[in-house]
């Protein structure tokens, strides 16, 4: 009720000072008009008004208002200048926000907006750099193979065609990641949930990951730990496969030659816990939350990719009402490679 009354008053009350371009001038006019109205009533009530004293009082009040208004309006002027700098691409400007009134709150909100815009601009630059790099490599390789075939330098044989196909598939994966990213930003992702036998599903994921690793010459073994009992999850099979394909591919890329990628699952407290373990160098604790951010590639060796795979994995898991996290390696891990351990947690049942 009160909010409606305030809205109605804001709509119907006049705004005579809108043409004035300075808020300090507005405050001065407000003070002069208020003082003049008060003195007018004083004159009307007693029939006499000392002219010099009244003029001096108005002048002192006007001067005081201008001095005090400087601190009130300086954040607004700083925001105007910072907004102009942002329009030119400079997101480093910040506003001094020391007051505790509405202007101070506005300055704090402005600084937060500037920081968010700076981060978004940085992510955009990183996306352009990463995607440009990832596109250049397969396109250059594919162009070289095709030029050799066209010029007759290399014979048209299965090995050359397989190399061209591998680069084409790499481009396809990149485009698929970018399309998923656009769907993430748009917030429109249909899930086609169905009941999935987790054991069969993970076996298929391991077989496909092993075939992919062998196809690119990675000396990595994949092993699925036997499930303690038949497990079922209600999820979108294609989206869930996307999660474990990304996790297993990352594990294979970061595992040493001859290493083993271990996949296991169990049910605890009404939730499914699926873990992917590799024997690589692991992820530092300080970076474990950042690896699921978009465009984050990390410092682990054997890199590649655009930094979108784990971000898309987290997005899919959260769509299913679950979570994903990097955990400490198992205490039994030994040797120079402690490994990386990623756990996906999913509800056993979920509504469609």
Is the pLDDT at 332 greater than 60? The verdict is: no
294-325 burial, b if ≥16 CB within 10 A, otherwise e?
bbbbbebeeeebbbbbbbbbbbbbeebebebe
Domain end (from 169, 186, 203): 186
Side-chain-facing half-sphere of 36: CA atoms under 13 Å: 8
Is 273 inside a domain boundary?
Answer: yes
Q: Euclidean distance between the first and final Cα of the chain, in Å?
A: 39
Tokens in use for 63? 């001067």
Instruction: Tell me if 114 is assigned to some domain.
Output: no
Measured at the CA of 139, the angle between CA 135 and CA 144, to 5 degrees, comes to: 155
Q: Is the pLDDT of residue 344 over 90?
A: yes
Domain end: 133, 154, 186, which one? 186
- Looking at the structure, tell me whether residues 231 and 258 fall in a common domain: yes
- Pick 277 or 28 by higher pLDDT: 277
Judge if 139 and 269 occupy the same domain.
no
CB atoms within 10 A of CB 162: 12
pLDDT for 22 equals 72
What CA–CA distance (Å, rounded) separates 164 from 171? 11
Average pLDDT value for residue range 60-78: 71
Question: Would you place residue 350 in the very low, low, confident or very high pLDDT band (cuts 50, 70, 90)?
Answer: very low
**What mean pLDDT, rounded, does the chain reach?**
78
pLDDT of residue 222: 92
CATH number of the structural domain spanning residue 152? 1.10.287.130
Task: Name the nearest CA neighbour of 248 among 213, 275, 209.
Answer: 209
Q: How many CB atoms lie within 10 A of CB 124?
A: 11
**Does 277 lie in the same domain as 200?**
yes
Nearest to 203 by CA among 264, 149, 152: 264
- For residues 274 and 344, give the distance between their C-alpha atoms in angstroms, rounded to a whole number: 5
How far is residue 169's CA from residue 185's CA, in Å, rounded to a whole number?
Answer: 24
Q: For the chain, how many structural domains are there in total?
A: 3
Q: Quick check: 83 pLDDT over 60?
A: yes
Q: Which of 136, 164, 186 is the last residue of a domain?
A: 186
Over pLDDT 90: what percentage of the chain? Answer: 9
Structure tokens at 235: 């999820």
How confident is the model at residue 302, as a pLDDT?
A: 42
299 and 249 assigned to the same domain: yes
- Considering the domain architecture, whether residues 208 and 313 belong to the same structural domain is answered as yes
Q: Does 301 have pLDDT greater than 60?
A: no
- Please tell me whether residues 290 and 149 are part of one structural domain: no
pLDDT at 334: 45
Once rounded to an integer, what is the mean pLDDT over residues 125-140?
72
CA–CA distance, 58 with 60 (Å, rounded to integer): 6
In-domain check, residue 111: no
DSSP assignment of 172-184 equals: HHHHHHHHHHHHH
Average pLDDT over residues 303-312: 65
Do residue 75 and residue 212 come from a single domain?
Answer: no
Most confident of 40-54, 131-145, 249-263: 249-263
Q: Look up residue 329 and give its DSSP letter.
A: P
Predicted confidence (pLDDT) at residue 300 exceeds the cutoff of 50: no
Q: Answer yes or no: is 117 within a domain.
A: no
- 58 within 8 A of 32, measured Cβ to Cβ: yes
User: What digits encode the pLDDT tens for the residues 173-218?
Assistant: 777 777 776 766 666 667 788 999 988 999 999 998 888 888 777 8
Examine the pLDDT at 352 and tell me if it is beyond 60: no
pLDDT of amino acid 153: 73
Q: What is the pLDDT of residues 86-118, one digit of tens each?
A: 888 888 888 887 777 777 788 889 899 999 888
Kind and range of the H or E element at 124? helix 102-151
Same domain, residue pair 24 and 132 = no
Using alpha carbons, select from 263, 261, 257 the residue that is nearest to residue 201. 263
Residue 130 pLDDT greater than 70, yes or no? no
Q: What is the predicted pLDDT for the residue at 351?
A: 42
The H-assigned helical ranges of 47-101 are: 51-87
pLDDT of residue 13: 64
User: Is residue 160 over pLDDT 80?
Assistant: no
Q: Are residues 245 and 327 in the same domain?
A: yes
pLDDT tens-digit readout, 7-28: 775 676 676 666 767 766 767 7
Residues 15, 19, 20, CA angle at the centre, nearest 5°?
A: 105
Residue 182 lies in a domain: yes
Write out the residue range of the structural domain in which residue 174 sits: 123-186
Task: Report CA torsion sign: 88, 91, 96, 100.
Answer: positive
- Domain harbouring 251, CATH code: 3.30.565.10
Of residues 351 and 32, more confidence is placed in 32
Q: Classify residue 280 as exposed, middle or buried by CB count within 10 Å of its CB (0-12, 13-18, 19+).
A: buried
158-186 vs 102-151: helix crossing angle, rounded to 10:
160
Exposure on the CB side of residue 97, measured as CA atoms within 13 A: 16
**5-14, 233-242, 293-302, 305-314 — which is least confidently predicted?**
293-302
**99 belongs to a structural domain:** no
Contact 145, 163 (CB under 8 A): yes
């Amino acid at each position: 009720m009160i909010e409606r009354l305030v809205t109605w008053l804001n709509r119907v009350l006049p705004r005579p000072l809108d043409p004035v371009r300075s808020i300090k001038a507005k405050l001065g006019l407000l003070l002069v008009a208020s003082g003049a109205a008060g003195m007018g009533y004083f004159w009307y009530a007693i029939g006499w008004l000392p002219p010099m004293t009244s003029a001096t009082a108005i002048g002192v009040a006007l001067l005081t208002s201008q001095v005090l208004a400087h601190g009130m309006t300086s954040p607004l002027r700083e925001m105007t200048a910072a907004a102009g700098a942002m329009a030119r691409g400079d997101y480093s400007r910040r506003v001094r926000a020391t007051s505790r009134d509405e202007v101070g709150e506005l300055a704090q909100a402005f600084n937060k907006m500037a920081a968010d815009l700076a981060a978004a601009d940085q992510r955009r630059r990183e996306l352009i750099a990463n995607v440009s790099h990832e596109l250049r490599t397969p396109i250059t390789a594919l162009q070289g193979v095709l030029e050799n075939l066209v010029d007759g330098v290399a014979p048209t044989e299965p090995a050359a065609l397989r190399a061209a196909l591998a680069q084409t598939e790499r481009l396809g994966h990149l485009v698929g990641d970018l399309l998923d990213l656009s769907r993430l930003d748009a917030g429109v992702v249909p899930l086609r949930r169905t009941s999935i036998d987790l054991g069969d599903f993970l076996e298929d994921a391991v077989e496909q990951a092993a075939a992919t690793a062998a196809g690119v010459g990675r000396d990595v073994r994949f092993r699925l730990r036997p499930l303690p009992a038949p497990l079922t999850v209600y999820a979108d099979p294609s989206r869930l496969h996307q999660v474990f394909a990304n996790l297993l591919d990352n594990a294979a890329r970061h595992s040493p030659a001859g290493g083993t990628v271990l996949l296991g699952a169990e049910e605890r407290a009404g939730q499914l816990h699926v873990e992917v373990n590799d024997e690589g160098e692991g992820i530092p604790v300080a970076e474990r939350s950042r690896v699921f951010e978009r465009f984050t590639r990390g410092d682990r060796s054997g890199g590649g990719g655009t930094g979108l795979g784990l971000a898309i994995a987290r997005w899919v898991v959260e769509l299913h009402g679950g979570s994903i996290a990097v955990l400490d390696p198992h205490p039994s891990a030994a040797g120079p490679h402690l490994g990386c351990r990623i756990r996906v947690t999913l509800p056993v049942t979920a509504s469609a």
